Amino acid sequence: LQATKLGKPTDYLDAFHDMESAVKYIKSQYAKAKIVIWGSSYSASLVIKLAGDNPTLINGVLAFSPGEYFDRSKTYIKDSAKNVKCPVFITSASKEEKAWEEIFHALPSKYKHSFLPKTHGNHGSRALWEEFHDSKDYWQAVSEFLHQYIGEKDNNNTNMQVESKAIIDKETPEPNWPHPRSGEWIQQRRQMVQLIRDYYGLKDEKVLKAMENVPRHWFTPGKKVSLAYADSPLPIGYDQTISQPFIVAYMTSQLKLDKNKKVLEIGTGSGYQAAILTEFT
């Protein structure tokens, strides 16, 4: 909205400058921290370009369904990929391999990995949605990559950066909303958390408490507020979807966060995942 008011372009490629600025800022504040960037669809291409254009800043890349999506040149992303120095993981639906094959081969890193499901699979990060029967195969491939290259090997290393969809910082002035721990829709929030705990078996109490504290309905359009706490992904328009509550909880638990770790999410999205993450700062 701010960019529109200032008369600045708001095409997909224009998000790159925001991503790059965010990474440079985080690196200036946490010089020893690991920074991992994760993109889906067009942003999957942008995270590869970001890592190639800033090879000293990035420690890892996960790209779901990247491709040469931008009207610059046929090798716009491939040209940046040649300069990537960090571990890279690329995946997509099976039929999309041709879209990123040349980009993958251009990566010089010996730590590059790709994954294609034996099924048709799905486009972008939605491949991880639990509603798809092959999502567990994607999750296994992602987890193995993260544990092998991004997992902390030193107990003295207390910082992990994960980038994905939106920036929310505790130092940013908070909107004039009711406090998350007010009684607003508290019963629905508790029922959602109970389902995650009892049905899905997630036992991370810090994550469950964060899920209870953040009102999910704040991040849903008015017409869909009644569906905010349903056990399913929730499309919110503009090709954006708030992930199923369990998926948000599971992804958060995999970060193994505590108050000493710092997390960055960048790009576009509902902001719900970022709001959950602020509960750990």
* Tokens coding 181: 């721990």
Q: Is the pLDDT of residue 39 over 90?
A: yes
Tell me the pLDDT tens digit for each residue of 64-94.
999 999 888 899 999 999 999 999 999 999 9
Query: Do the strands 34-40 and 60-64 form a parallel or antiparallel pair, or are they unpaired?
Result: parallel
CA atoms of 146 and 156, how far apart (whole Å): 19
Contacts for 162 with CB less than 8 Å, ≥ 6 apart: 36, 38, 255, 263, 264, 265
Lowest mean pLDDT among 44-58, 146-160, 177-191: 146-160
* Tokens coding 2: 């701010």
- What phi, psi does 55 have (nearest 5°)? -65, -20
CB 138 within 8 A of CB 127: yes
User: Rg of the chain over CA atoms, in angstroms?
Assistant: 19
DSSP assignment letter at 40: E
Interhelix angle 42-53/15-29, nearest 10 degrees? 50
Lowest mean pLDDT among 46-50, 60-64, 143-147, 239-243: 239-243
Quick one: 16 exposed, middle or buried, by C-beta within 10 A (0-12, 13-18, 19+)?
middle
Other CB atoms within a 10 A radius of the CB of residue 62 amount to 25
CA atoms of 276 and 83, how far apart (whole Å): 34
Taking the CA atoms of residue 85, residue 38, residue 63 and residue 270 in that order, the dihedral angle to the nearest 10 degrees is: -160
Tell me the pLDDT tens digit for each residue of 93-113.
999 999 999 999 999 978 899
Query: Do the strands 160-163 and 112-115 form a parallel or antiparallel pair, or are they unpaired?
Result: unpaired
Interhelix angle 186-198/205-213, nearest 10 degrees? 150
Single pTM value for the model: 0.56
CB 100 within 8 A of CB 68: no
* Tokens coding 143: 């987890």
What domains appear along the chain, each with residue ranges and CATH number?
Answer: 2-163 (3.40.50.1820)
Tell me the pLDDT tens digit for each residue of 117-169.
999 999 999 999 988 999 999 999 999 999 888 774 444 433 333 333 333 33
